[in-house]
């Protein structure tokens, strides 16, 4: 069940990062709890990954146990306007399933990569939509067993949720959507997909939007106004298509991305007096 010194570059969208001391891909809640107990008994730190689409792993890798909940942990059900999806379900696929059942509310998610567990963790959103307001139940596990948060127990804000504060592993998310006209749902999804294809560098590896949006500002235009569009350090480059994305032009390293992120932060602070905070999760340690 456990792999040692597993190269995390294999499971991140950026394709960079050092190894995990231990790596597990449980396929059931029982296996997941067993993995958590394994870590607890050995005093290992736990890191949970989905599809690795919103993370940057440092070159030294991640100490302790990394648990991946992706296609190995993906089950979904629909009951009228309620969708329950396990953590490894692709967020975009859940939105398409909702459209198939003429359910509205997840159109914004159609082009968001990664699993619904990660989406919940980050309160993922786009185009004026986010997952938080749709949540009716969150199921999770610890080394001691299972637990649940109902809607009134689940707190969230911009790119933040209660799951970031608690030492739990989310196993499934229940969403309440609204019945609507399927043709209108699909038209909205196609419009959003066309806007993403036109504006985002989908042809290159990235981890999505690099920085959170500061109040009163838009990140991409600020970076472009600072003359940083197209700036490259090693194989990491500020996308010429959308300056809010940093892409892997080939053979990039974690250090390339970290240096480029730090450079952008310094320039934006100096020019606009704005502190840019990474939206991507930066994990692990340096070599």
pLDDT, tens digit, 9 for 90 and up, residues 19-45: 999 999 999 999 999 999 999 999 999
Per-residue DSSP letter, 212: P
Q: What DSSP designation does 217 have?
A: -
pLDDT at 287 over 80: no
Would you call 279 a catalytic residue per the annotation? Answer: yes
Q: Which of 130, 137, 118 is nearest to 156 (CA)?
A: 130
Confidence (pTM): 0.93
Distance CA 17, CA 7 (A): 7
Q: Is the pLDDT of residue 1 over 80?
A: no
Query: Number of helices and strands (H, E) in the chain?
Result: 6, 21
- How does pLDDT run across 147-180, given as a tens digit for each residue? 999 999 999 999 999 999 998 999 999 999 999 9
Residue 101's alpha-carbon distances to 24, 121, 276, in angstroms, are 34, 25, 40
By the 8 A CB rule, do 36 and 24 touch?
A: no
Query: Which one, of 56, 82, 123, 88, lies nearest residue 260 by Cα?
Result: 56
Burial (CB count <10 Å: 0-12, 13-18, 19+), residue 226: middle
| Residue-wise pLDDT tens digits, 200-235 | 999 999 999 999 999 999 999 999 999 999 999 999
Q: Which domains does the chain have, with CATH numbers?
A: 2-71 (3.30.43.10), 74-184 (3.30.465.10), 202-283 (3.90.78.10)
What's the confidence (pLDDT) of residue 223? 97
**Chain centroid offset of residue 180 CA:** 28
What DSSP letter does each residue of 3-48 carry, written as one string? Answer: EEEEEGGGGSTT----EEEEEE---SHHHHHHHHHHHHHHT--EEE
| pLDDT tens string 226-273 | 999 999 999 999 999 999 999 999 999 999 999 999 999 999 999 999
Smallest Cα–Cα separation from 255: which of 276, 277, 284? 284
9 a catalytic residue: no
Active-site residue, selected from the candidate residues 13, 161, 209, 254 = 209
Structural contact between residues 238 and 219, judged by C-beta atoms closer than 8 angstroms: no
More confident residue, 49 or 111: 49
pLDDT category of residue 128 using cuts at 50, 70 and 90: confident
Active-site residue identified among 9, 159, 206, 237: 159
- State the Cα–Cα distance between residues 133 and 151, nearest whole angstrom: 9
Burial class (CB in 10 A: 0-12, 13-18, 19+), 241: middle
What are the Cα distances from residue 35, in Å, to 55, 63, 118?
A: 22, 15, 19
Percent helix / strand / coil, the chain, rounded to 5: 35, 30, 35
Taking only the tens place, the pLDDT of each residue in 40-89 is 999 999 999 999 999 999 999 999 999 999 999 999 999 999 999 999 99
Average pLDDT value for residue range 94-102 = 98
pLDDT tens per residue, range 186-199 = 999 999 999 999 99
What residues are paired with 57 via a beta bridge? Answer: 283
Residues 6 or more apart whose Cβ sits within 8 Å of residue 186 = 99
Distance CA(281)–CA(79), nearest Å, equals 34
């Amino acid at each position: 069940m456990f792999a040692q010194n597993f190269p995390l570059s294999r499971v991140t969208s950026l394709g960079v990062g050092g190894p995990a001391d231990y790596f597990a891909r449980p396929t059931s809640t029982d296996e997941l709890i067993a993995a958590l107990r394994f870590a607890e008994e050995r005093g290992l730190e736990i890191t949970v990954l989905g599809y690795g689409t919103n993370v940057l792993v440092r070159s030294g890798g991640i100490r302790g146990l990394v648990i991946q909940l992706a296609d190995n942990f993906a089950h979904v059900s629909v009951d009228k306007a309620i969708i329950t999806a396990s953590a490894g379900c692709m967020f975009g696929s859940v939105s398409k399933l909702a459209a198939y059942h003429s359910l509205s509310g997840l159109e914004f998610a159609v082009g968001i990569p990664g699993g619904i567990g990660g989406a919940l963790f980050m309160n993922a959103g786009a185009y004026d939509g986010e997952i938080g307001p749709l949540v009716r139940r969150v199921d999770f596990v610890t080394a001691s067993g299972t637990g649940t948060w109902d809607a009134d127990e689940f707190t969230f804000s911009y790119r933040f949720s209660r799951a970031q504060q608690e030492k739990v592993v989310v196993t499934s998310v229940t969403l309440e959507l609204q019945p609507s006209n399927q043709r209108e749902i699909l038209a909205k999804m196609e419009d959003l997909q066309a806007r993403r294809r036109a504006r985002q560098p989908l042809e290159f590896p990235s981890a999505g939007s690099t920085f959170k949006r500061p109040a009163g500002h838009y990140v991409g235009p600020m970076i472009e106004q600072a003359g940083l569009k197209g700036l490259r350090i090693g194989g990491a480059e500020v996308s010429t298509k959308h300056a809010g994305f940093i892409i892997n032009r080939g053979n990039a390293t974690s250090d390339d991305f970290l240096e480029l992120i730090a450079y952008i932060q310094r320039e934006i602070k100096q020019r606009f007096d704005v502190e840019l905070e990474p939206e991507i999760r930066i994990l692990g340690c340096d070599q």
